[in-house]
Amino acid sequence: MSSLSRRRLLATTAIALAAPAVARAQGGTQPWPTKQIRMIAPYPPGGGVDTVSRAFSEGLSPEIGQTIVVDNQPGAGATIGAAALQRSPADGYTLMLGSMVDYSIAPFFHQNLTFDMAKDFVPVLEVGNGTIGVLVTPSLPVKNVQELIALAKSKPGQLSYASSGYGGLIHLNYEMLKQMTGAEMTHVPYKGTSFFQADLYENRVQVSIDNVLAHLPHIAAGKVRCLAVTAKTRSPLLPEVPTMAEAGVPGFESATNYTLFAPKAVSADIVKKLNATGNEVVKDGGFREKMLKLGIVPSGTTQEETQAKMSAEMKRWGDVITKGNIKPS
């Protein structure tokens, strides 16, 4: 039994006694938490964000001494859930597990947003990141990223690039690569990864920079090749695959993201407690194993590190979209 599981068992019988001692008053006298907490998941049940939200909430609940209920509020590129967080009282009883990337991109593709990530949310903790890889059809005559770039530059527009839709992260990964290297390909948007997998594996499209989870068994079977991962460090999912920096494209970083957010005006004491207890969850062996099976590499960060990354992500994707003159389709 993991240390977190033991704590969870103890907390089940002592939750009422534990709650008052977990955190100090938001205003100096009111203990937190004293009641159930709502965790907004801005995507439908069953998906990656929902699964991470439930696993993280299950681990966090005994740490803070209160039950946490996951509230799915999907739609409009995760902006419906974010708007619900923005409307919520800043009392620590409504949180959200969402993506820095989604909310960095959203202002460029959704009109009349009622929230601003930088002004309305405090990023508490980065829970983890999904592994993204540079994927190529196996018949493409390239062995590494530099050869792919050289081939694309020698035949501008002749290679095709598959994405899960215009303006999404997979599309923007290509735009960032093009801006950084001059490798121009023809963008072919699909409705999702599952719609382009067969075309990628059978050379009807040649390239994608996508989350590797759906492709892992096909990488192992040789149906598609991963030339690099786009994280700062190599992925435990594909430890033999180099990073983009190692592959000669330093500064190219991208990942699906899972971050705990709270309303901006929430007490600093609550943020501190959530960060400390959240990091305990992320360190737990059982939680880490569960995340890696989903293709997610657990992070764990200080609140200051989380804030700095949010600012960097907003700048990264804002620059890519602006430089590429990418408009809503």
Whether residues 125 and 8 fall in one domain:
yes
Angle between helices 285-293 and 268-283 (to 10 degrees): 80
Whether residues 35 and 147 fall in one domain:
no
> What's the N-to-C CA distance of the chain in angstroms?
51
* CATH code where residue 145 lies: 3.40.190.10
Calpha distance 209→215 (Å, rounded)? 11
Whether residues 140 and 82 fall in one domain:
no
Whether residues 270 and 215 fall in one domain:
no
User: What's the structural domain count of the chain?
Assistant: 2
Mean pLDDT per 10-residue interval, the chain, length 329 residues: 57 46 45 96 93 97 97 95 97 97 95 94 97 97 98 97 94 98 97 95 97 94 98 94 98 96 97 98 96 93 97 97 91
- Please indicate, yes or no, if residue 16 is contained in any of the structural domains: yes
* CATH code where residue 122 lies: 3.40.190.150
Whether residues 138 and 188 fall in one domain:
yes
What lies within 8 Å, CB to CB, of 133 at 6+ separation is 209, 210, 212, 215, 226, 227, 228, 229, 230, 235, 238, 241
% pLDDT > 90, the chain: 87
- Please indicate, yes or no, if residue 247 is contained in any of the structural domains: no
- Please indicate, yes or no, if residue 329 is contained in any of the structural domains: no
Whether residues 76 and 11 fall in one domain:
yes
Calpha distance 8→292 (Å, rounded)? 21
Virtual torsion, Cα 187, 188, 189, 193, nearest 10 deg: -110
Whether residues 260 and 125 fall in one domain:
yes
- Please indicate, yes or no, if residue 235 is contained in any of the structural domains: no
pLDDT digits (tens, 9 = 90+) for 275-327: 999 999 999 999 999 999 988 999 999 999 999 999 999 999 999 999 999 98
pLDDT at residue 9, as a whole number: 53
pLDDT at residue 31, as a whole number: 87
**Residue 161 belongs to domain spanning:** 132-229
Whether residues 68 and 209 fall in one domain:
no
Whether residues 170 and 282 fall in one domain:
no
